[in-house]
Amino acid sequence: MSFFRDKVVLVTGSSDGIGRAAAVLFAKAGARVTVTGRSEQKLTVTKSECVAAGAKADNILELAGDVTDQQFIEKLVQGTVDKFGRLDVLVNNAGAAIIDFSGKNGLDIPIDVFDNTMDLNVRSVVLISQLAIPHLEKTQGAIVNVSSIVSSLFTCSQPYYPMSKTCLDQLTVQMAGTLIKKGIRVNSVNPGIIRTNFIAAAGLPSEYAKQFYDKADDKESTQIPLGKCGVPDDIAKIIVFLADRSQSEIIVGQRIVADGGSLLKNNLLSADI
């Protein structure tokens, strides 16, 4: 019997991309899943894919809303527990790069872009985790945060997104050290380039997104040593693994990089890769 049989999983940002792929894998493993995002239409697609993977329709809860809205977050956690009676796994996947299109770079970018970025990528994670912890303590559950390899990189053009992911990495460590005493394991996965709608969602042209991913998938490119970028299912598998106590119980407070070797290229001694 699957570890996730009848367990309850809440995946934020699950209307598309990595979040949707994770929700489908959890559903396939027998979990009851709450999916959430801002688009009701996309959430309907996520639910249908969960059902196609073997879940009962009544075991998938759809709640559309914005995770930066505290009232919605409260509704999200309470609605999950009200419907399913428990919470075993929280996947903090919702996040985005908020791009400033004024032409400014670095710290010249207006502070409201910083505020909105941190609100979505960090503050919302703190808030939803605070609400989920009492329920996760009862089930000896797990939290998986979805960060990014950009937390380790320098960018002069749009610095606030990498800053927010660095904060999320540190939040993972601090939560892990505190919550393991309550029996809750916390880890994160830090993806590299994954073929999703991330770039389009940031407001960049679809043609730019296509060129970006096509370049990453070029085996002659030196961007990714593996020779290709990842797909949402690659990261979803890691999320499910980190949430599965029967497989990963000894992993606590770790940030699992999944980037096809991209970070190796940022080592000054890696010229031969």
Alpha helices in 60-205 (DSSP H): 70-84, 111-118, 124-139, 160-179, 198-201
Which one is catalytic: 160, 161, 208, 213? 161
Query: Cβ of 205: how many Cβ atoms within 10 Å?
Result: 10
Residue 52: DSSP 8-state: H
The four Cα atoms 176, 182, 184, 186 give a dihedral, to 10 degrees, of: -10
Q: How many CB atoms sit inside 10 A of residue 200's CB?
A: 13
165 Cβ contact list (under 8 Å, min separation 6) = 95, 121, 147, 148, 150, 151, 190
The pair phi, psi for residue 48, each rounded to 5°, is: -65, -35
DSSP label at residue 262: G
The SS3 assignment for 37 reads strand
Judge whether 213 counts as a catalytic residue.
Answer: no
Do residues 259 and 224 touch, judged by C-beta distance below 8 A? yes
At which residue do the structure tokens 């940031």 appear? 202
> What CA–CA distance (Å, rounded) separates 46 from 55?
12
Q: How far is CA 105 from CA 110, 114, 178, in A?
A: 10, 12, 37
Question: Tokens representing 101?
Answer: 């299109």
As a whole number of angstroms, the distance between CA 256 and CA 18 comes to 15
- Positions annotated as catalytic residues are 161
